[in-house]
Amino acid sequence: MGKKIGFTGHRELTPAQERKVITRCNQIIKEENAELYITGACTGVDALVALHMAEHHPEIQQLIIVPAKRTYVDERVLRIKDALITYMPKGSTYRERNERIVFNATKLEAFWNGNRRHSGTYMTMNIAKYKGILITRTAL
């Protein structure tokens, strides 16, 4: 079984932070030899990673897990050709979407600004820690 890398990160990114995410993404491609990238379909890190992978590395399979509440979903990711797109059931929470990202991953890449308050990124890191999977954090 190959590596399956889940991604988590903040929705609002500066141009410098976007460059940092893309740089790390390219490092991961070179170093990890992953067979699957897993994102959560929202604006920010989710969309940036998914769109970058689709454009520059379409040979790597993507799993995009769309939350039931679509307020923050970046609709562009739903049009990525050949991505496996799965939708969370109506009434499910962002936490359940985050759990699905982690439970499908063998490693979590977290792009975190250090803020714990109302942070889905922090929540996702805690889920991964509880599951016992490796977490790599990139400070934003």
Residue with the bigger pLDDT between 2 and 133: it is 133
Query: Which pLDDT does position 101 carry in this prediction?
Result: 98
CATH 3.40.50.450 fits 3-139, yes or no: yes
Query: Which pLDDT does position 33 carry in this prediction?
Result: 87
The H or E element containing residue 83 is none
Query: Which pLDDT does position 119 carry in this prediction?
Result: 85
CA distance 106 to 45: 19
Q: Which two tokens stand for residue 136?
A: 């790599």
Contacts of 19 (CB under 8 A, 6+ apart): none
Query: Which pLDDT does position 93 carry in this prediction?
Result: 95
- Which tens digit of pLDDT belongs to each residue from 68-101? 999 999 999 999 999 999 999 999 999 999 999 9
Enumerate the domain spans of the chain.
Answer: 3-139
Query: Which pLDDT does position 78 carry in this prediction?
Result: 97
pLDDT category of residue 1 using cuts at 50, 70 and 90: low
- Taking each helix axis from N to C end, the angle separating 15-32 and 45-56, rounded to the nearest 10 degrees, works out to 50
Q: Which of 56, 51, 48, 9 is nearest to 29 (CA)?
A: 56
Helix (H, G, I), strand (E, B) or coil at 139: strand
pLDDT at 118 > cutoff 80 = no
- Which tens digit of pLDDT belongs to each residue from 19-75? 999 999 999 999 988 999 999 999 999 999 999 999 999 999 999 999 999 999 999
